[in-house]
Structure 1
Amino acid sequence: MQSIRNIAIIAHVDHGKTTLVDKIIHASKIFRENQQFEDLILDNNDLERERGITILSKNVSVRYQDIKINIIDTPGHADFGGEVERVLKMADGVILLVDAFEGPMPQTRFVLGKALELGLTPIVVVNKVDKENCRPDEVQEAVFELMFNLDATEEQLEFHTLYGSAKNNWMGPDWKNPTDSIIPLLDAIVKYIPEPKIEEGSTQMQITSLDYSNFVGRIAIGRVKRGKIIEGQQYSLCKADGSTKRIKVKEVHVFEGLGRNRVTEVQPGDICAITGIEGFDIGDTVADLEKPEPLPRITIDEPTMNMLFTINNSPFFGKEGKFVTSRHLRDRLMKETEKNLALRVEPTDSEDKFLVYGRGILHLSVLIETMRREGYEIQVGQPQVLYKTINGEKHEPIETLVVDVPDTAAGKVIELATQRKGELLVMEPKGDLQHLEFKIPSRGLIGLRNNVLTATQGEAIMNHRFSAYEPFKGVIPGRVNGSLISMEGGACTAYAIDKLQDRGFFFVDPGEELYAGQVIGEHSRDNDIVVNVQKGKQLTNMRASGSDTNTKIAPARKFSLEEAMEYIQKDEYLEVTPKSIRMRKIHLNENERNKAAKMQDA
């Protein structure tokens, strides 16, 4: 039987995790000598490259000294925490990668905590020791302290440390004496990471992630815990409700290099992908046909928020995108549910509107951003949390919010959370940080992350988990200012904006093309007003000194996609196209808006 090591790589955003995997792949000679390739091989999605975050975990494998090493690249972002926890179940050890100057950072803490809880063996790699002002020895001590604070076991605290520079392609036990290759890291993996424990018994494989192919449909990925998975054989699929159904495995693939190889059978301890099975969910167990024994289930957080997705029907429709019809939108959303686990799509009474349910703002915004890059034009409504009526009373989703924050900023975080009906349950020191736990309504989380990060200079680590439905907590104050709305279509002028600056601030620059009903700024008061920003200056052939003073305009406020999603009101849509993000009123005509407002009041 072949010897295997399963290892996950943990690191804070931008500490060089994906670069390190690149170098391991090069060291194991997967590419032919003359083959061309890019850097950051694993962040193969544009959105991941730009944001510098890994959103989806990925599997690759390399061979070293006849040992197969399966490497799992994990998302470092707490928002994709569900993804991380599932993926760590496939590993026996972790490589913790830290920057030799910055040391262990907030995001690292969350994923490392999960890995230590699961009993995984850590190897610490202090990266970027070629940087100026780096302090590798202090960073190594900081990692030890962090692990101690996270209640690591004695064995975990005796971790092996390597120093190096992934960019310059070397690793070694001493940072003052650079080696000439990355091989010492591979030696350490072979020596310190345990082989998968092989248990006796009937076949068991838990599905921990999935992929989708246009040719074969959904592909189940997981680690074989016991027994073997053999191509063409029949097994039982153990579902969440305790039922089992008979399935036949069509093809079995193992990870080899950057791709997959088709094999006839997979040995226990290896990670594989199976095609041909229908109707499976994450957490289901592929088990023996005669006596199926399910593994304990992995929980997937249920959606707590929905947004209305509809086709773009603004006056600028079809100018920038190529997929604009309701058929395009429906097909794309249905395709997404095949591989995006926490997402649900429901049709509404209108053919061109769909309710999309997701885990939160970032989860939904990644979908919207991906769609706009593919050439879709869509409009989305204000994010809404999901209410339930239980015993005739309105209940709303409550989440457990965990914030780890430096001592000095704890007060600000408590204040921000309690303003949004958060209830402080736990406040205790956790090593060098204050550990805060709140019960907070899901709708209180909309816009909270930005405020907390601003108040704590980006040092807070926020993580939230759906807890339960509880009685409605009352009104949470939202945006208090009204909108400035464009009166007519056309390009706005600097002259008109200058004259209206005392009314509020603008989101548009002079010369930008607008349409009637577009939200172009924030009013300084709480009501909406319609303004004419297309009006030019009346020109005469008379000149007077002093009357032609230059206009001085405050710069337009620009929103990111997430900020715009959190900003819009109930009666507004966000128009998203491949090139633009615009806010608009649902009813572009002022009379229709007034009529709709009266009907709502009645």
Structure 2
Amino acid sequence: MDIRNIAIIAHVDHGKTTLVDKILHATKVFRENQDTGELIMDNNDLERERGITIFSKNAAVEYKGVKINVIDTPGHADFGGEVERVLKMADGVCLLVDAFEGPMPQTRFVLQKALALGLKPIVIINKVDKPNCRPDEVHDAVFELFFNLDATEEQLDFPTFYGSGKNGWFNDSLTQSEDITPLLDGIIKHVPQPKVSEGPLQMQITSLDYSSFLGRIAIGKVARGTVKENQPIALMQDGGVIKKQRVRELYVFEGMGKKKVSEVVAGDLCAVVGLEGFNIGDTIADADNPEALEVISVDEPTMNMQFSINNSPFFGRDGKFVTSRHLRDRLMKETEKNLALRVYDTDSADSFMVYGRGILHLGVLIETMRREGYELTIGQPQVITKEIDGKKHEPFETLVVDVPQEYASKVIDLVTRRKGEMLVMETKGEMQHLEFEIPSRGLLGLRTNMLTNTAGEAVMNHRFSEYKPWKGPIPGRNNGVLIAKDNGTTTGYSLDKLQDRGYFFVDPGEEVYRGQVIGENNKPGDIVVNSNEGKKLTNHRASGSDAATNIAPKREMTLEECMEYIQQDECIEVTPVNIRMRKVILDENERVKQQKRMSAEAV
């Protein structure tokens, strides 16, 4: 059968998943009257809540007798590890670019990987129905990006399609077509058939799936030969390990699901059931003539965090999995499918160092574990430094900010204070487009500050660029925090009297414990406050003294905001029900002793 394997790549929010929806509808995967909703491929709860793709997924459609395997990829830089491995399954890529924003940092990152693998690109300029869109300028910018990334002559001669995914049309010119069939015709015409070399079976595992009925499922593209049901195979792993195993069942992709088959020929994507102990990057090879494919290389992590068991006074109230064994098993299981993640043991049996691509990458892991019933404590995120030529180096990122012109000076001030350097400043319609180079440390807590200072108008994106010499200290949070003095329940009376000290992360009637961070101080320095004191009642009433309390609502903090907010001596308690910030040392006297010890050591 005629086959085309395409990956859809783009910056976050440029419309990849919407395009996949339209392809599924155009090729009649669903019944006419079937209610499918939007963003069909984003079927994970977290993806639907956040409106972003986190895990790459496969679908297969048939158009004019050709089977098109479509791979939907994440657009966020923190999930680049997902994209790097699934591109191995594709023979061509559809690069989706917003007709107003043009190529963005993640566009460059993913495109670089695709071009290096020699994939044939098709450029799709989406959202041409938006006001202020500039498709011709964006096309020139895309060509320049291809040129800068050392694309070959053949790759530079890319076909371009224009359209609007939301309105369901794409055409090879700016004139509106009836539907997206011109794009599907273009995919069949321009994307080559899978390259198939002669020889015995070779298939690299590039993705994992799990079924409670079938167990772990290996997914990849058959690069050579044929894989059959009940066939004995050699599983080739890193370090020259070869395991003899047998394929139990085989599935190919069909529509949104999978179809059981007896054999799969080279060039098609398939799911293999029955293998044990495999990892992403392993090769399924012929049992008699095993030959391994090159192992998938994934960029290094840039950030680490300490994951520990929950040791707060409220330990074990909300979660099912609370021991260090539970935590370790879950983290190790995650490393099997999350290639950009690393987990290391520490001196303490209760703590683990987890390395990832960024705040969002680690935040999604913590949020997933929390929903599964885990309780844990996480420390402040730290960037990973390296020693190069005897000098300390740290990761730097390219930061891109689009902001209304009246706020541009505030953005520049915020970024330069955090050791960022401006590289580009240009006007795009009514927006100012700014590009900076900034240490990864400088990004911690920057998003919240920037949204506050730009009335929520700033659009900020960043991606890792390279390691550069250490830039020196970066100012962190200026204000101190309000810390609960005792265990108990907060009262409206106490919070009302403390309002002039700062604002709170708790409401009246919430249970708190000694050492918990319950608010932000208006000034530098931490204050321990009594938030649990009730009003002493007498049998006398005085006019005016019983005025109703008027307390400002608490400030809700998301997990990522808490991760950016905490300092070195603080941590976050995460349970299925609550997210609380607290001091690492809960007792105030112990904290004072610790500070004195550290000051003495520093001297």
CA contact (8 A) 1:59 1:70 kept: yes
Where structure 1 has 5 or more consecutive residues not aligned to the other structure, the ranges are: none
After TM superposition, give the deviation of residue 55 of structure 1 in Å: 0.8
When the two structures are superposed, what TM-score results if normalisation uses the length of structure 2?
0.81
Corresponding position: 1:75 with 2:74? yes
One-letter code of the match for 1:4? I
Distance 1:6 1:215, change over 3 A: same
Alignment of 1:302-381 (within 5 A): 302-347=300-345, 352-381=350-379
Percentage of pairs with the same residue: 60
SS of aligned partner of 2:374? coil
CA–CA distance in structure 1, aligned partners of residues 354 and 410 of structure 2: 33
Partner of 2:54: 55
CA contact (8 A) 1:8 1:72 kept: yes
Partner of 1:150: 146
Partner of 1:464: 464
Partner of 2:90: 91
- The counterpart of 2:482, out of the listed 477, 481, 484, is 484
Distance 1:478 1:100, change over 3 A: closer
After TM superposition, give the deviation of residue 345 of structure 1 in Å: 3.6
Corresponding position: 1:398 with 2:397? no
CA–CA distance in structure 2, aligned partners of residues 127 and 72 of structure 1: 18
CA contact (8 A) 1:385 1:397 kept: no
CA–CA distance in structure 2, aligned partners of residues 455 and 593 of structure 1: 34
Partner of 1:206: 204
Partner of 1:257: 255
After TM superposition, give the deviation of residue 71 of structure 1 in Å: 0.1
Cα displacement string for residues 495-541 of structure 1 (whole angstroms, at most 9, x for unaligned residues): 43343344333322344332332111223444332111233455664
Where structure 2 has 5 or more consecutive residues not aligned to the other structure, the ranges are: none
Distance 1:358 1:266, change over 3 A: same
Cα displacement string for residues 222-246 of structure 1 (whole angstroms, at most 9, x for unaligned residues): 22333333444455555554x2524
SS of aligned partner of 1:308? strand
Distance 1:259 1:195, change over 3 A: same
Cα displacement string for residues 314-352 of structure 1 (whole angstroms, at most 9, x for unaligned residues): 344444444445554344333323322233344556554
SS of aligned partner of 1:194? coil
Distance 1:133 1:487, change over 3 A: same
One-letter code of the match for 2:501? R
Q: How many residues align?
A: 587
Alignment of 1:562-573 (within 5 A): 562-573=560-571
CA–CA distance in structure 2, aligned partners of residues 207 and 244 of structure 1: 15
Alignment of 1:7-156 (within 5 A): 7-31=6-30, 37-99=36-98, 107-127=106-126, 133=131, 135=133, 138-151=134-147, 155-156=154-155
CA contact (8 A) 2:383 2:394 kept: no
CA–CA distance in structure 1, aligned partners of residues 238 and 417 of structure 2: 38
CA contact (8 A) 1:218 1:338 kept: no
Distance 1:430 1:107, change over 3 A: farther
SS of aligned partner of 2:330? helix
After TM superposition, give the deviation of residue 171 of structure 1 in Å: 4.2
CA contact (8 A) 2:164 2:170 kept: yes
Distance 1:427 1:475, change over 3 A: closer
CA–CA distance in structure 1, aligned partners of residues 89 and 591 of structure 2: 54
Alignment of 1:160-199 (within 5 A): 160-172=159-171, 177-179=176-178, 181-199=179-197
Partner of 2:513: 515
RMSD (Å) for aligned C-alpha atoms: 4.2
CA–CA distance in structure 2, aligned partners of residues 182 and 414 of structure 1: 42
After TM superposition, give the deviation of residue 411 of structure 1 in Å: 9.5
CA–CA distance in structure 2, aligned partners of residues 30 and 186 of structure 1: 14
Distance 1:73 1:140, change over 3 A: farther
SS of aligned partner of 1:150? helix
- The counterpart of 1:248, out of the listed 245, 249, 273, is 245
CA contact (8 A) 1:493 1:534 kept: yes
Distance 1:216 1:418, change over 3 A: farther
**More moved, 409-418 vs 327-336:** 409-418
- The counterpart of 2:532, out of the listed 527, 531, 534, is 534
CA–CA distance in structure 1, aligned partners of residues 166 and 471 of structure 2: 52
One-letter code of the match for 1:463? R
Cα displacement string for residues 413-462 of structure 1 (whole angstroms, at most 9, x for unaligned residues): 8987776677x7x9589999777656x4x655544565678889645542
One-letter code of the match for 1:566? E
Distance 1:142 1:167, change over 3 A: closer
After TM superposition, give the deviation of residue 68 of structure 1 in Å: 0.9
**More moved, 198-207 vs 65-74:** 198-207
CA–CA distance in structure 2, aligned partners of residues 479 and 177 of structure 1: 51
After TM superposition, give the deviation of residue 583 of structure 1 in Å: 0.9
CA–CA distance in structure 2, aligned partners of residues 23 and 572 of structure 1: 47
Partner of 1:225: 223
After TM superposition, give the deviation of residue 59 of structure 1 in Å: 1.0
Cα displacement string for residues 7-58 of structure 1 (whole angstroms, at most 9, x for unaligned residues): 1112443343223322322333334567664432211111111111111111
SS of aligned partner of 2:184? helix
CA contact (8 A) 1:236 1:244 kept: no
CA–CA distance in structure 2, aligned partners of residues 543 and 410 of structure 1: 54
When the two structures are superposed, what TM-score results if normalisation uses the length of structure 1?
0.81
After TM superposition, give the deviation of residue 196 of structure 1 in Å: 1.9
Distance 1:449 1:301, change over 3 A: farther
CA contact (8 A) 1:4 1:270 kept: yes
Cα displacement string for residues 374-433 of structure 1 (whole angstroms, at most 9, x for unaligned residues): 233322222345678999x9x8663243345679999988987776677x7x95899997
Distance 1:466 1:270, change over 3 A: farther
Partner of 2:572: 574
Distance 1:103 1:343, change over 3 A: closer
Cα displacement string for residues 162-202 of structure 1 (whole angstroms, at most 9, x for unaligned residues): 455544544445665552x4433322221222222233455
After TM superposition, give the deviation of residue 99 of structure 1 in Å: 4.9
